[in-house]
Every structure is written in C-alpha cells, then in structure tokens.
Amino acid sequence: MDDDDVAVLFTMEDSSKVFAIGNIEQVAVADGTVDARRATGSSSAEYLRQLSMSQRSNGVFINDPKGLFILRWYREVKGDGTPPDGPRYQNRACKYYKLTSDNDGEAFRWTSNYQIISKVYLKKHSTLPLCYSLSAADKKMVTSTMKKMVGPEAE
C-alpha cells in the first residue's frame, strides 16, 4: 500500500501518546525481523534507518510485521486552514488536516508497521487547498484502536 492515509501512534517527550495522520509516500520490507520494542522506542528512527530493507513499488500491507513506511504528515488546522494555538496533536480546535509540502517541518524517516493504528479515509475540503476532514466514525475508530494499543492513557 502506498499513497494511502494512515493514523500513526507516537509517544511524545512527556510520554503522552498521540496520533498523527500521514500519507504513505514510500514503502519497503525489512530483510530480517523488526524488533517491535526498538521500532516504537525513543530512538526508533535511528534503528529503522539502519535496517537492511527492500523497497517495494507495488506496496506493502500495513499489518506486515516487516513493513516500513515513509510518510508525509498532515498538519492539524482550524476551520480557516491555519494551525491552531496549543497542542500540535489532538488539538480541540482542529477541524481539518492539511497536507504540507514541507512534511510539517519534520524530516522524512522510516516508520514501522508497529506504529500504524489504521488506515483512514479523508474527505477533500471544497475550498481550502490541500485540506481534508476525518470523519467522526474514523476518528472514533482511531481513538479506540489507539487505546487498545497503549491502554487508557490515550485520549
């Protein structure tokens, strides 16, 4: 799977758990076993970068335990398309997700399937460029699945 949108689990510096929405840009399969603990830990980007892998132009399933993904992140934005004040993720003022050309200021790096919460379907906004909405049903499903992954601390 590539060019699909997915919700991805992150552990923030304060140990809180959040999800971000990303668009799959590139996929690969690790040549060996991927250690789930290292693939989701604080130094996961370095660990995943060092893995031997094979790029796959025909896609990778998000539940493949050897699946690796490069994602372009959506930025949470208010109803007018501007970033909200306050938390970067799960901001109550977020109405849409904007696909940015600069990857929302983040470096492009490999993400493992162990961080993928689920595939999501975004609906294009009729007037705001590159802005999309996440349905209430998908948001509820992402939050519910995230809670099962990390426990009740996910809100």
Cβ atoms within 10 Å, residue 152: 6
pLDDT for position 71: 92
Q: What does the block give as tokens for 57? A: 């132009």
Q: What angle do CA 15, 18, 20 make, to 5 degrees?
A: 140
Q: How confident is the model at residue 153 (pLDDT cuts 50, 70, 90)?
A: low
Q: Is this model's pTM higher than 0.85 or not?
A: yes
pLDDT of residue 127: 95
Q: How many residues does the chain have?
A: 155
Residue type, 146: M
Cα 45 to chain centroid, rounded? 14
What was the pLDDT predicted at 3?
A: 67
Range among 36-40, 117-121, 151-155 rated most confident: 117-121
Averaged over 42-70, what is the pLDDT? 91
Element (H, E) at 149: helix 136-150
Which one is predicted more confidently, 14 or 82? 82
